[in-house]
Amino acid sequence: IQHTDIEAYLSWARTYRNNGVRALARKQAVIRSLFRYLLKENLITRNVTLRLDTIQVNQKIPKALEPEQVADLTDILESGIGLTNGQLKYHNYTEKRDYAIFLTFIGTGIRLSELCSLKLQSIDFNKGCFNVVRKGNKETLIYFNQEISDALNDYIENERPRYGENSLDALFLSIQGKPISKRAVQNLIKKYLNVLQAFGHNTEGFSAHKLRSTFATLLLRETDNLAIVQDALGHSDPRTTRIYAKVLDEQLRRAATLIKFK
Question: Catalytic residue numbers?
Answer: 111, 135, 209, 212, 235, 244
Given CA atoms 154, 107, 187, 90 in this order, what sign does their dihedral have?
A: positive
User: Within 13 Å and on the Cβ side, how many CA atoms surround 10?
Assistant: 23
236 DSSP 8-state letter: S
Helix (H, G, I), strand (E, B) or coil at 140: strand
Residue 106, CA distances (Å) to 5, 34, 54, 70, 205 in order: 48, 38, 35, 8, 17
Confirm if 10 and 18 have CB atoms less than 8 A apart: no
Calculate the CA 65 to chain-centre distance.
12
Residues 6+ apart with CB under 8 A from 186: 112, 207, 208
